[in-house]
Copies of this chain bind each other. A is one copy, B any other.
């Protein structure tokens, strides 16, 4: 038998509560816990289980209650808002990273504002200038592919506004950076293709200015050397727009001495390779083996499924936000000393011949 209509599954019944009169006592009532337990949970006491702490924090956030331990410093902040500045959100890396950032901001009772630069450095400058008005208390930034001067970032820092860089960082800026192991993963991607028999490995990128692009490419080049196939390897800069990228990739793959292995160093370059192969009658992985730096949920269901370098996007966002809040909560916390590297993962699938 089938269900005859909608089956309801609700996690809980939502109760409306007047936010104004919310106190720690209310929180206790709401969760059917003692005031002491709530208080200890909010102070992160070892006496309280992780699960209870989670419940307390979740309810506190739902009820717009900023727990005291955080509130002491955060309460002095005006905007109760952090700004997240990213190039785009159509890349699944950024949408996952933003989810990680929000998971932290929520426990602090903070709003998250998302700004998109669309890779335009003038927009990035305008957005950061706008922050000087006090619209936000702190900033999480992943720079555009053309950001080569940093006065707009420095200006914020001089205004005592904490800035944390994540993923697309710039070594020239003196602040916390949350990255993944790009050099190593460029090396891993190229080595994997070499081990699968590729002798002409192309590296596709969209910008010569980004640190992550160059780190990944340096790793790729090192692998070509180590596997003695440097002569057949080439780095191609795709022009940027979807149509132009596809055309550049088609030209590359339509060439008589086309590559037999391709690394798409950013997510948006993976599908154009599938598209170009389909248009040119080339088969993945028989004719071309492909590795993509990519967090697409669909990777496992593609035809063929895509071997990926999967970045710890959610964790990177989470970690970057944690650092920003530590700085907001404690002025003496030195952001510049924080350099966090969270490792990515190679997921071998059919596009390189399968596991």
Contacts and interface: CB of A to CB of B under 8 A. Distances in A.
Query: Interface residue tally of chain A, by bracket?
Result: 35 or more
A36 interface: no
Given A301-B274, A301-B303, A113 B116 contact: no
A99 interface: yes
Given A114-B114, A234-B4, A126 B64 contact: yes
Interface string A1-42: 111111111010010000000000000000000000000000
Given A90-B99, A95-B90, A235 B6 contact: yes
A121 B15 CA distance: 11
Given A275-B301, A303-B303, A237 B98 contact: no
A70 interface: no
Nearest to A63: B122
A225 interface: no
A197 interface: no
Nearest to A268: B297
A291 interface: no
Contacts of A271: 297-298, 301
A302 B306 CA distance: 10
Contact of A298 (B2, B64, B298): B298
Nearest to A79: B135
B113 A115 contact: yes
Contact of A6 (B114, B120, B208, B240): B208
A114 B6 CA distance: 32
Interface string A85-112: 0000110100110110010000000011
A62 interface: yes
Given A9-B237, A89-B95, 19 more contacts: A2-B259, A4-B234, A6-B205, A6-B208, A7-B236, A7-B237, A14-B122, A62-B120, A89-B98, A90-B99, A102-B118, A111-B115, A111-B127, A113-B115, A271-B301, A275-B300, A275-B301, A301-B303, A303-B304
Interface of A: 1-9, 11, 14, 62-64, 89-90, 92, 95-96, 98-99, 102, 111-116, 118, 120-122, 126-127, 130, 135, 146, 200, 202, 205, 208, 232, 234-237, 239-240, 244, 255, 257, 259, 271, 274-275, 278, 296-298, 300-305
25 contacts: A2-B202, A2-B232, A2-B255, A3-B235, A4-B234, A5-B234, A6-B205, A6-B208, A6-B236, A7-B236, A9-B237, A64-B122, A90-B99, A111-B130, A112-B116, A113-B114, A114-B114, A114-B115, A135-B135, A271-B301, A275-B300, A278-B301, A301-B302, A302-B302, A302-B303
